[in-house]
Amino acid sequence: MNSDTATLAMTAARDAAAAAAEVIRHYWRRGVEVELKADATPVTIADREAEQAIRRILQAALPQASIYGEEFGLEGERGGLLWLVDPLDGTKSFVRRTPFFSTQIALMDGDELVLGVSSAPVYGETMWASAGNGAWLDDERVRVTDTAVMDQASISIGNIRTLTADARWQALGALIRDCNRIRGYGDFCHYHLLARGSLDLVIESDVNILDIAALAVIVREAGGVFTDLDGGPLTLDTRSVLAGAPAIHARALHRLRR
């Protein structure tokens, strides 16, 4: 992807996130009815209308790119340029009037994540990043911490239900005992905190790529490491996360592998 296309893509992604924010704020104020999808997860009119608004802007800007969205699936072919869209990540929080939800928009070029926008309109933050251009919160460039030892590390965990039956559960418990602070911010929030140096490590399971693709670009461009729990690269099938400041990520990965 050349620099002109990259600039166009970032403008489109930020415009699309802003359009989704207008939809989400509208329904946040008035309230919505909740439906259950086939997998028993909730969905609302806000999810659907936000994704439609996003798709219109992305398609107009880059008609050659495919779009894979949470609510309306894949349009186009996988491979090449592929937008990854979760219009309202954290619908359970949204319907319970908790501001920990966001719009996630990422762009893949082949197998590489190259752009991410994470917009949390009610929480009041938007972060974005593109490959080689750093990570940004509003107009401020952000960086992960340089924490290097576990007893100084702040860790946030989320969606760890599947880990309770995993061989790594005991290792996670030991890691928590040895860290400085443990929290469970969840969703976009702990990745934003990680990227701007307020956390040192995030551990999650039970995620999908639409939840984390944009956040991975942001954390990496902020100087962090973002892998799955086995230390592997992110793919469209990724279901877990280990993300952190480089030294802490390395220490945590070593301990979780034992």
pLDDT tens-digit readout, 28-65: 988 888 888 888 788 999 999 999 999 999 999 999 99
Phi, psi (rounded to 5 degrees) for 244: -175, 180
User: Could you give the percent of the chain with pLDDT greater than 90?
Assistant: 82
Query: Residue 71: is its pLDDT beyond 70?
Result: yes
- Stretch 55-83: mean pLDDT: 94
Predicted confidence at residue 117, as pLDDT, reads: 98
Q: 32 and 46 in contact (C-beta within 8 Å)? A: yes
Flag whether pLDDT at 258 surpasses 70.
no
Q: Which helix (H) or strand (E) holds 47?
A: helix 45-61
Pairing of strands 135-137, 102-109: unpaired
Q: Do 130 and 221 form a contact (C-beta atoms < 8 A)?
A: yes
CATH, domain 150-257, list 3.40.50.1820, 3.40.190.80, 3.40.1390.10, 3.10.20.30: 3.40.190.80
Q: Spell out the long-range contacts of 98-101 with Cβ–Cβ below 8 A and sequence spacing 24 or more.
A: 99/123, 100/185, 100/186, 100/187, 100/188, 100/189, 101/24, 101/187, 101/188
DSSP string over 141-174: EE------SGGG-EEEEES-GGGGGSTTHHHHHH
Q: What is the CATH number of domain 3-133?
A: 3.30.540.10
What is the residue extent of each domain of the chain?
A: 3-133, 150-257
Q: What is the pTM (predicted TM-score) of this model?
A: 0.96
Q: Average model confidence (pLDDT) for the chain?
A: 94
pLDDT tens, position by position, 209-238: 999 999 999 999 999 999 999 999 999 999
The tens digit of pLDDT for each residue in 128-157 reads 999 999 999 988 999 999 999 999 999 999
Q: At residue 119, does pLDDT exceed 70?
A: yes
Contacts with 65 (C-beta within 8 Å, 6 or more apart), sequence order:
9, 58, 76, 80, 81, 82, 83, 107
Radius of gyration of the chain (CA): 18
